[in-house]
Structure 1
Amino acid sequence: MRFKLFHAPIVPASAAGLTTEELRRYLGVGRNNVAPIARRFGIELLHGIYPECIVWRQLFGLVPDDEAAQAALREPLADINWVSTATGVPQSTIRDHLRAGHWKYDRGVQLGDQSGTQARRLRRWLPALIRHRTCGSPLPAFNRIAPHPADSDNADTHSSPSKTHHTLPPEGVGDEPSEDVFSALLSDAAIAPR
């Protein structure tokens, strides 16, 4: 099998995002790994679609700044075999350097659970970042963005209702309740300054 330095980008069939099969091909994993990886990183499946910008934000903390960066992010992720061939560094050395913190290239993203038996086999890299270091190709224009917490059910990512909605005091607080709505409106209008 011949080594390819570049791979065709995965352009989603829907403008809304990636299907499960497209995400599987993008990540370079088996079909049974897609859902656990999505859960682990907090990537929501919205009506059968994984929005690209959410995938990129949650996996890498990046959003594309231009079309070239978008094309670089759409390229399927590289596994350790590709990185080893592109850099000329044996796989065992890559793993050793990653563990010791001496790896000079991009560290990639660990898709698998760290405690799992297949964790080391699920590390993936953005090929553009490896090519940048090995070939001197220009680095795409990415913007950093913080990923949302993976456990979004327990995280408070929205502002509290008291900041966005005005709540009325419960009846019985303050003045006595009026007999009906119209009398309350008329009494308020009579008191209000003009």
Structure 2
Amino acid sequence: MTEKELFEMYNKDVYRTCYYMLHHAQNAEDVCHDVFITVFRQDWRKVEYMKTWLMKITVNHCLNFMKREHASKQREKRLFMLTPQRTVDPVDQVAQHAEESELWEQWVQELPEKIRSAILLRYMNEFSLSETAETLEVPLGTVKSRIYKGIRLLRKKWEKASKPHQKGEVYSETYGRKIVSSSEK
């Protein structure tokens, strides 16, 4: 069998697999082309189960392509986030967002180190739970527990900051002090 015969025999199967994995015709064509280049560089004439071997190479090429695409999109997203954006928001909203952002940053920094690292990897770096577990070298359940605790602690801080006075109290903006209700006297 020649390389041309091999290509003609399996080209449609390889392309179809690439297309169903990548959902994009041009990317499927490119990866299909790369698969056959890889195959022709190997000692493919000695392979016993050609279609199985070819499909394994195809799937691996598709997975590698998807990883590269994901990494590229993540870099693009980070670059966009780091690039100063022009804002059309009123100055008071910009100032409020900046204050809230600083407040959240402070709260995250106040979290215990193990919980903070899990939260930052998961939400700031957009790691999956398993990637976070692998990075921290802890079991998946531990990562889930730390993230749950972190979210719970942050939620408590948010609720506390959102409610400046206790039930039954009235805060006087004019005098800047608490007025005790008649039921507390």
- TM-score, scaled to structure 1: 0.26
Question: Which has the greater radius of gyration?
Answer: 2
Name the TM-score, length of structure 2 as normaliser.
Answer: 0.27
Structure number with higher helix proportion: 2
